[in-house]
């Protein structure tokens, strides 16, 4: 496909509709997976994507027997589309706010596996928001903490929840949760049936362990630096997968590990010594525009305990 010789003159309603379809295709991972979400057939989706590529003069994705994948330009258009659609939704929300009705979207980015926290502050705040604004559309994205912060910065997310590390300029952080993580091993691991008294630090620190690739405070990183980390994971679920193989030890939040502990599949190793507390905060952008949906959610979040 040849590049457009002239700049895009304007973005029409038709373009916006195509960009919304494109967003769904990307987030579903292909045309076939997007059929049910969009309620249209694969051939119609393919035609609309061809129309968008023609309109932009860019090749956005590769599709065929090799599967679906984005081009580099396709990834850039996707991120730009997220910002555009978020800005349009912000405009609609602000206008609706003039009528004091809760309408529009709330886009939330969450660190994985917070749903098992016993306090359920996010859940309760979402329930209250839905009661106050039945027409509000809530969209949750489970992504890495760095992506949550970037999404709040660029406006594609209204609010996020991340581990509290070094704050980024341009963002506001408010404490939300504190969670306790313990060092676990699973059935099949040599330490699973060992008595804690038989497990000295040298033996524990020599086991294959898992390190997270997401940002953590320095005092938490020290717990991982003491271990023999031979594997890594981008989120807590990935760490759980590896621990449950019975070949690695690793830290997990106690609320997340509780069910496997009850089932006898996981055990904590020397919990009195090997544990850490991690603070989780909700994060918003500094200087954000008034948004009645977001402010209502934050108000409910602050009121929950």
Mind listing the pLDDT tens digit for each residue in 33-44?
888 888 888 889
pLDDT tens digits, one per residue of 74-95: 899 999 999 999 888 888 877 7
Q: Is 185 in contact with 253 (CB distance < 8 Å)?
A: no
pTM of the model: 0.65
Local structure of 141: helix, strand or coil: strand
Q: Looking at mean pLDDT, say which of 14-23, 128-137, 214-223, 256-265 comes out highest.
A: 256-265
Give residue 168's pLDDT: 87
pLDDT band at 99 (very low <50, low <70, confident <90, very high): low
pLDDT band at 129 (very low <50, low <70, confident <90, very high): very high
Give residue 208's pLDDT: 97
| pLDDT exceeds cutoff 90 at 272 | yes
Residue 34, burial from CB neighbour count under 10 angstroms (0-12, 13-18, 19+): buried
Give residue 3's pLDDT: 54
Distance, in Å, from the CA atom of 232 to the CA atom of 247, rounded to the nearest integer, reads 13
Domains of the chain plus CATH, in order, are 13-81 (1.10.10.10), 89-176+280-303 (3.40.190.10), 177-279 (3.40.190.290)
Give residue 150's pLDDT: 92
Task: Enumerate the H helices of 115-154 as residue ranges.
Answer: 121-132, 145-154
Q: What is the mean pLDDT of residues 168-190?
A: 93
pLDDT band at 55 (very low <50, low <70, confident <90, very high): confident
Residue with the bigger pLDDT between 223 and 97: it is 223
**H-helix or E-strand spanning residue 233:** strand 228-233
pLDDT band at 271 (very low <50, low <70, confident <90, very high): very high
- Which residues in 40-76 are b (16+ Cβ under 10 Å) and which e? eeeeebeebbeebbebbebebbebeeeebebeebbee
Residue with the bigger pLDDT between 3 and 242: it is 242
Q: What is the DSSP string of 31-99?
A: HHHHHHHHTS-HHHHHHHHHHHHHHHTS--EE-STT--EE-HHHHHHHHHHHHHHHHHHHHHHHHHHTT
| pLDDT exceeds cutoff 70 at 100 | no
pLDDT band at 246 (very low <50, low <70, confident <90, very high): very high
Q: What's the chain's average pLDDT?
A: 88
Count of CB atoms within 10 A of residue 142's CB? 16
Q: What is the mean pLDDT of residues 237-253?
A: 96
3-state secondary structure 172-229: EEEEEEEEEEEEEEECCCCCCCCCHHHCCHHHHHCCEEEEECCCCCHHHHHHHHCCEE
């Amino acid at each position: 496909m040849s590049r457009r010789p002239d700049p895009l003159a304007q973005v029409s309603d038709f373009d916006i509709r195509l960009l919304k379809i494109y967003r769904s295709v990307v987030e579903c991972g292909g045309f076939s997976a997007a059929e049910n979400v969009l309620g249209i057939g694969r051939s119609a989706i393919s035609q609309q994507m061809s129309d968008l590529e023609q309109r932009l003069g860019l090749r956005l994705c590769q599709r065929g027997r090799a599967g679906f994948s984005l081009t580099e330009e396709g990834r850039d258009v996707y991120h730009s589309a997220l910002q555009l659609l978020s800005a349009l939704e912000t405009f609609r929300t602000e206008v609706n706010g003039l009528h004091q009705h809760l309408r529009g979207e709330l886009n939330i980015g969450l660190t994985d596996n917070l749903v098992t926290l016993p306090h359920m502050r996010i859940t309760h705040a979402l329930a209250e928001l839905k009661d106050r604004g039945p027409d509000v559309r809530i969209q949750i994205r489970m992504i890495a903490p760095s992506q949550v912060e970037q999404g709040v910065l660029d406006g594609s997310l209204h609010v996020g929840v991340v581990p509290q590390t070094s704050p980024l300029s341009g963002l506001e952080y408010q404490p939300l949760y504190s969670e306790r993580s313990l060092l676990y091993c699973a059935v099949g691991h040599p330490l699973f049936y060992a008595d804690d008294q038989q497990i000295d630090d040298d033996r524990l620190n020599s086991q294959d362990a898992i390190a997270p690739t997401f940002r953590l405070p320095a005092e938490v990183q020290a717990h991982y630096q003491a271990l023999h980390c031979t594997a890594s994971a981008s989120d807590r679920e990935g760490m759980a997968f590896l621990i449950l193989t019975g070949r690695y030890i690793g830290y997990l939040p106690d609320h997340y590990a509780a069910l496997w502990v009850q089932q006898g599949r996981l055990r904590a190793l020397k919990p009195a010594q090997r544990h850490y507390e991690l603070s989780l905060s909700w994060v918003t952008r500094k200087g954000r525009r008034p948004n009645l949906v977001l402010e209502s959610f934050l108000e409910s979040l602050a009121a929950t305990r």
